[in-house]
Amino acid sequence: MRWEVARDLDQVHGLPRSSVFETLYRTGTWEAVERGRGDRKAWLEAAHRMLEERAGRPLPPLHEEWRASQRTIEPNLRLVRELRASHKLAILSNADISLRERLEGDIGIHHLFDDIVCSAEVGMAKPEPAIFVLAAERLGLEPRECVFVDDLDTNVDAARQVGMQAVLFRVDKGDDLRAQLAGLGVAPRR
């Protein structure tokens, strides 16, 4: 997630801190969408209305701008390509039903992973313990054999509670995923 972009959008538009993020992802509407039970269009429209209410004025589509700013992290993609030869890899994402299409069509990285667990497809979301267990099972692994990486500490804590090793990775804080994983013994095998 491009947290710095969300912060900049909040600041530039005079919004309280975390407004872009909270109006998009801290609502009951999102909780339904990320579990495959809500309407994506209604969620986005409601989020924009809430953002304008916070601002007290009309705003451009800031959520779209933030979502469009999301991009791959090239050093991490190199690491994924290197790990692929010796490790099972999966994406576990709280996402709306468009995730798979975005990974295949827009981003083109789906082929780098053994599995993609999308919350909207499986009807549960992080930090629910069952979704971590499901992700491990779909790889044919026990949770204790997995290392989970996320940018939210609540998800990292939840993964640890089911027995996974876990890493809090924030690109906006300068974290180095390769070094973090190496510290847990996860490195490409030559």
> How far apart are the C-alpha atoms of 183 and 169, rounded to whole Å?
13
Per-residue pLDDT, 4: 85
Say if CB 88 and CB 139 are below 8 A apart: yes
Contact of 186 with 168, CB cutoff 8 Å: no
Q: Which CATH class, in words, describes the domain spanning 74-182?
A: alpha beta
pLDDT, tens digit, for every residue of 76-111?
999 999 999 999 999 999 999 999 999 998 889 999
Nearest Cα to Cα of residue 165 among 142, 188, 137: 142
By CB atoms closer than 10 A (0-12, 13-18, 19+), residue 134 is middle
- pLDDT for position 133: 98
The model's pTM = 0.90
Task: Domain ranges for the chain, please list them.
Answer: 3-69, 74-182
